[in-house]
Amino acid sequence: MRAVVNSSPLIFLAKIGKLDLLNKLFDEVIIPKAVYEEVV
């Protein structure tokens, strides 16, 4: 299953140290360029 994520889940998962959950739950995680630029 694929997931397209926006900035909120990325930010909150990173804050609690659980960013790896996305890779555990989904086969493919898609981060649009605009979201990447906002978060990074």
Tokens encoding 2:
């694929």
pTM, full prediction: 0.80
The domain tally of the chain equals 1
Q: Which residues contact 25 (CB under 8 A, 6 or more apart)?
A: 3
**8 within 8 A of 33, measured Cβ to Cβ:** no
Tell me the residue range of the domain where 14 lies.
2-39
The per-residue pLDDT for 26 is 97
User: What are the pLDDT tens digits along the chain (40 aa)?
Assistant: 999 999 999 999 999 999 999 999 999 999 999 999 999 8
The per-residue pLDDT for 16 is 97
